[in-house]
Amino acid sequence: MALLEVKHLGISFGGLRAVDDLNMSIEQGSLVGLIGPNGAGKTTAFNLLTGVYAPSEGTIVLDGESLVGKAPTEICKSGIARTFQNIRLFTKMTVLDNVKVALHNHVEYSLAESFFHLGKFSKREKEMDERAIDILKVFDLDGQADVLASNLPYGKQRKLEIARALATEPKLLLLDEPAAGMNPNETQELMDTIQLIRDKFHITILLIEHDMKLVSGICEYLYVLNFGMELAHGEPAVVLNDPKVITAYLGE
Ligand SMILES: Nc1ncnc2c1ncn2[C@@H]1O[C@H](COP(=O)(O)OP(=O)(O)OP(=O)(O)O)[C@@H](O)[C@H]1O
C-alpha cells in the first residue's frame, strides 16, 4: 500500500466544487508535484489533507490510518506537516525557537516539569537545542539561530518554514508554493534543499508549485488539477507535454 491513499476526495463551498473526486496514491519516499492553474483547488486539497477542512466525501489514509474527521493537530501527530503559500513563521521568535516549537510535536513532559524547569524538562531542552541546530544545519541556517525570524531575508524565511515543518518529523511533507517570490538562484538552492531533505530524512514530499523549472527538475510524478478535478497524472515528461495540460495552463 502507498504511504498516502486518497480516494474520491471532494469538498464544496456553496455551489463551488473546489475539489472533486480527487484520487492520489503517493509512494513512501517519492517527491510528487500537485500542479494546475490558479483556483484549481490545490491549496484546498492541502487543507483537506491537513484537516483544516473536513471533506464532503472521500477517504484519506496515511500509512494505513484514516485521517478524515481528525483535527489538524492530530493529523500533524499522525505524520503530515506543511508549509503555507504565505510564510507563517513566528516572526517575534528566533530562528532556533521556531524550530524548537515544532519539536514539541513528539516531546512530552508535564506542565509542572516545564514550569519549574525540572527533571526531564532541562535535559529535554538541551536535547531539543541540539536537535534544532542539527535541522538548521541542513538548511544552512545554524549561523543565524539567534536571529529573529522576521529579520531573515525572504528566501531564508521560506527555508526556515520548511525546517520547522520537518522538525515535527513528518512522514509526509506538504509544501505550498515553496519557490513563490524567490529569484532563480534562490529557487535553484531550494530545489537542491528539497531533494536533500527527501534523501536525508527519507520522507515523502508533495508540493504545489507554479515554477515549471522546479516541478520538472525535481518531481518524479505529477498530479494536475483543473476546476477541482484531476486533469492528468503521471511522469512529468509525459504530463507536461499532454495537450490537455498545456491548454489548461495557456487558458489561464
Ligand atoms: N474557504 C473557502 N470558501 C469559499 N471558497 C473557497 C474557499 N477556499 C477556496 N475556495 C475556492 O475554491 C477554489 C479553489 O481554490 P484554491 O485556493 O484551492 O486554488 P489553488 O489551486 O490553490 O489556487 P492558487 O494556485 O491560486 O493558489 C477557488 O475558486 C477558491 O476561490
Span 240-249, pLDDT tens digits:
999 999 998 8
Domain boundary among 139, 169, 199: 169
Nearest atom, ligand 1, residue 47 CA: 18
Tell whether 42 and 149 lie within a shared domain.
no
For residue 184, tell me if it sits in a domain: yes
Q: What separation in Å is there between the alpha carbon of 132 and the centre of ligand 1?
A: 34
pLDDT of residue 88: 84
Q: Is the CB of 41 under 6 A from ligand 1?
A: yes
Residue 50 domain-assigned (yes or no): yes
Judgement on whether residues 129 and 7 belong to the same structural domain of the protein? no
- The response to whether residue 40 sits with its C-beta less than 6 Å from ligand 1 reads yes
Grouped pLDDT means (10 residues each) for the chain, 252 residues: 96 94 97 95 97 96 96 94 86 93 68 58 81 93 95 91 93 95 90 92 94 93 96 95 88 58
* Boundary (domain end) residue, out of 147, 169, 191: 169
Instruction: Give, using CA atoms, the residue closest to atom 2 of ligand 1.
Output: 13
Which residue among 13, 48, 226 is best mutated to probe the pocket of ligand 1, counting the most ligand atoms within 8 A of its Cβ?
Answer: 13
Counting ligand 1 atoms within 8 A of each CB, the residue from 9, 17, 42, 49 with the most, and so the one to mutate, is: 42
Report DSSP letters for the chain, one per residue.
--SEEEEEEEEEETTEEEEEEEEEEE-TT-EEEEE-STTSSHHHHHHHHTTSS--SEEEEEETTEE-TT--HHHHHHHTEEE--SS----TTSBHHHHHHHHHGGG----HHHHHHT-HHHHHHHHHHHHHHHHHHHHTT-GGGTTSBGGGS-HHHHHHHHHHHHHHT--SEEEEESTTTT--HHHHHHHHHHHHHHHHHH--EEEEE-S-HHHHHHH-SEEEEEETTEEEEEE-HHHHTT-HHHHHHHHT-
CATH number, domain of 236, equals 3.40.50.300
pLDDT number for residue 84: 86
Report the C-alpha gap between 21 and 30 in whole angstroms.
22
Tell me if 150 is assigned to some domain: yes
Structural domain ending residue among the three candidates 140, 169, 198: 169
d(CA 116, CA 112): 6
Does any domain span residue 95? Answer: yes
Shared domain for 164 and 176, answered yes or no, is: no
Whether 182 maps to a domain, the answer reads yes
pLDDT of residue 121: 65
Residue 246's pLDDT is 92
pLDDT (0 to 100) of residue 113: 55
Q: Does any domain span residue 180?
A: yes
Q: Rounded CA gap, 42 and 174, in Å?
A: 11
What global pTM score does this model have? 0.90
Domains: count for the chain: 2
Do 161 and 209 lie in a common domain? no
Classify residue 84: in a domain, yes or no: no
Residue 202 placed within a domain: yes
Q: Cα(39) to centroid of ligand 1, in Å?
A: 5
* Beta carbon of 36 within 6 Å of any ligand 1 atom: yes
Do 9 and 111 have their domain in common? no
**Pocket test residue of 9, 12, 16, 50 for ligand 1, highest count of atoms within 8 A of CB:** 16
Q: Are residues 93 and 215 in the same domain?
A: no
CA of 176 to the centre of ligand 1 (A): 13
**Domain ranges, residue 35:** 1-79+170-252
Predicted confidence at residue 85, as pLDDT, reads: 81
Q: Which DSSP string do the residues of 27-82 spell out, in sequence order?
A: -TT-EEEEE-STTSSHHHHHHHHTTSS--SEEEEEETTEE-TT--HHHHHHHTEEE
| Total Cβ atoms within 10 A of residue 24 | 20
- Which atom of ligand 1 lies at the shortest distance from residue 85's CA? 27
- Do 208 and 250 lie in a common domain? yes
The ipTM value here is 0.94
Query: Do both 193 and 118 map to the same domain?
Result: no
Which numbered atom of ligand 1 lies nearest the CA of 19?
14
The response to whether residue 38 sits with its C-beta less than 6 Å from ligand 1 reads yes
Tell whether 192 and 242 lie within a shared domain. yes
Both 62 and 185 in one domain: the answer is yes
Pair (13, 136) in one structural domain: no
Q: Note the pLDDT of residue 252.
A: 53
Co-location of 99 and 123 in the same domain: yes
Question: Quick one: which atom of ligand 1 is closest to the CA of 46?
Answer: 18
